[in-house]
Chains A and B, each alone.
Chain A
Amino acid sequence: MQRLHSNIVRLPRVCRPAIARCNHTQASPQRNTLESEKKTTSFGYKTVPEDMKESLVRNVFDSVASRYDLMNDVTSMGVHRLWKDSFVSSLKPGKKGPLKCIDVAGGTGDIALRILDHAKDNYYDRETTVDVVDINAQMLKEGFKRFKLTMYHNTPQIAFHEANAQDLGSEKFSDNSYDLYTIAFGIRNCTSIPDVLKEAYRVLKPGGTFACLEFSKIENPVLSTLYDTYSFSAIPILGSIFAGDRESYQYLVESIRKFPPQPEFAQMIRDAGFSTGPNVDGGAWADMWGGIASVHKGVKL
């Protein structure tokens, strides 16, 4: 059900799920048990069957991939660079020796590049490696292209893999093999966050760090209202102007609202087996810009 306008691919219309939500009582008892067995998840503010979310998200990122970096700059007015710089600096990759890092949902390579640069510039480290993993081949292609402009291209320091964060695969990503696992602005697009955390726990070595940079909840109501206005008014319009795709940016903005707030997400990290700081801002997580973005860290003991 894709509509094609010239060469711009639009998000396919979601078939309205034939699944009743739990507060509908009109269905017959037989149908109710069948329906309750089919799991659903959120796709922005829509509710979709779980198995559909992955392909819907893939379509979103196929469509935004070529302008992803431009759109990040436009919609965040360049601030995402500050967040990513701060995120990577706080991790200090290379300080205690070369690291084996995995950057998940890292398609265009922003974090990977910063990790390698930080290790090189601050610790003269040219042995740290980063494996960039993304479910979307288009995003990986963009990342590969970007890395061609750097000195890391064709070196063992960088590698690109297409894989699902919820099931990385034990052949390529064995247990206890990485020192640092990063995921920046990607985890909210995954269908099942606990599965992603479980895989992260599996591939990290004991002593390894899990770090997640993600959009989060703002406590301050004034800032929150301003942010909501900007998100829902400006961002889809900027998406339609620059990328000719309003729906993908509407999804992106809605998916931020659906992500669990900081304490809840910190608990999910602990449930996966990680140890975190105390359940306050500054402990298990550190808010940036009032909570617009937040860094969650955990350690596998």
Chain B
Amino acid sequence: MLTRTICRRNLTLRAPSSTFTRAWGATTRLPIWTVEGSEAGPRARPMHTKPAYQGHIPLNWFENTLLAAGSAIMSLVDPRRGDMIAALGETTAGPSLSRLRDLMLESPEGRMILRERPRVNSETINMDELASYPEGSFGRAYVTWLERCGVTPDTREPVHYIDDPELAYVMQRYRECHDFYHCICNLPVNVESELALKYFEFANLGLPMTAIAALFGPLRLSEKRRSRLFSEYVPWALKCGGTAHSLITVYWERRWEQNVEDIKKELGIWDPPEARWSRPLIEAKALAERRRQASLSRSPSD
């Protein structure tokens, strides 16, 4: 408890509601619009909110509900709208992010993450360096996974709609670690694997967004894939996710050299049923080898 009090930072920036006057003197809940300066320039916003971090867009309850509903519909209609899926996650997060942050505070690794706030993107992840790690290490496994799926650790949509900067970081961390979860659970990026991972994340982290995706995502699957999802993957996901350590507390970037099997044993994760990969392992390894040769030939000139 003492540790928790020391580490918790109170970062809410709302002014108390009694300090601003209303047009007709009574305490009503109607926002009074004002133009005030901020780092992003003047904006009309309700008097009691200010942006708490770069990219923060404060929303009142009405706007939050509207955006939650709108983004839910839009995500179903056009699943390629990454910004809408992100918005849905943020507007429906509720108390789940506080719970995750508290979980992080309870573990030494989680506390380190909150203190250092590492980011995962193409700049902070050095693919060539990771490829040089020994076979069986997490770093190597991650690069192999990226190559097998044909994805990069690109920048995910930044968080806009969470008011507390620390909780906004927790949300961002969850979003950026999604690929690590793919890797450690040995799942590719096709639709049924993504849904299996969403069930896993729901059991492990408890974010409402994962539940929404898990409930409505399967509607887009063919009958055969849906039955495979529910008969094989979902039982694995719920059992494994429910019993494993909370993955939000794992400091992945400090475990590159660690053996993957050791990590899985430590966290309590076992492999799902065999999935459908877009590229065979041999091909991915060949690509990795080629890239290693290219970087070696490049480095003398650097």
Contacts and interface: CB of A to CB of B under 8 A. Distances in A.
Whether A and B are associated in the same complex: the answer reads yes
Interface of A: 5-6, 8, 14, 16, 45-46, 221, 225, 228-229, 232-234, 237-238, 240-242, 244, 246, 250, 253-254, 257
Interface string B177-195: 0000000000000000000
A221 B22 CA distance: 13
A5 B157 contact: yes
B70 interface: yes
Contact of A14 (B41, B43, B66, B82): B41
Contact of A233 (B60, B83, B84): B60
A228 B33 contact: yes
Nearest to B35: A45
B6 interface: no
A241 B42 contact: no
A254 B33 CA distance: 12
Contacts of A45: 35, 41-44
13 contacts: A5-B82, A16-B41, A221-B23, A229-B30, A232-B44, A232-B45, A233-B66, A237-B59, A237-B63, A237-B70, A240-B83, A241-B71, A242-B74
A259 to B, nearest CB: 14
B66 A237 contact: yes
A229 B45 CA distance: 10
Interface of B: 23, 30-31, 33, 35, 41-45, 57, 59-60, 62-63, 66-67, 70-71, 74, 80-84, 87, 157
Contacts of A254: 44
10 smallest A-B Cβ distances: which pairs?
A: A241-B70, A45-B42, A46-B41, A233-B63, A237-B67, A228-B33, A232-B44, A237-B66, A45-B35, A241-B74
Nearest to B24: A221
Contacts of A232: 33, 44-45
A71 to B, nearest CB: 13
Given A45-B42, A46-B41, A254-B44, A244 B83 contact: yes
Contacts of A244: 81, 83-84
B43 A250 contact: yes
B43 A240 contact: no
A233 B82 CA distance: 22
Contacts of B74: 241-242
Given A234-B66, A237-B66, A229 B31 contact: yes
Contacts of A257: 44
Nearest to A245: B83
| Centre residue among A221, A229, A237, A246 by max chain B CB count within 10 A | A237
Nearest to A226: B30
Contacts of A237: 59, 63, 66-67, 70
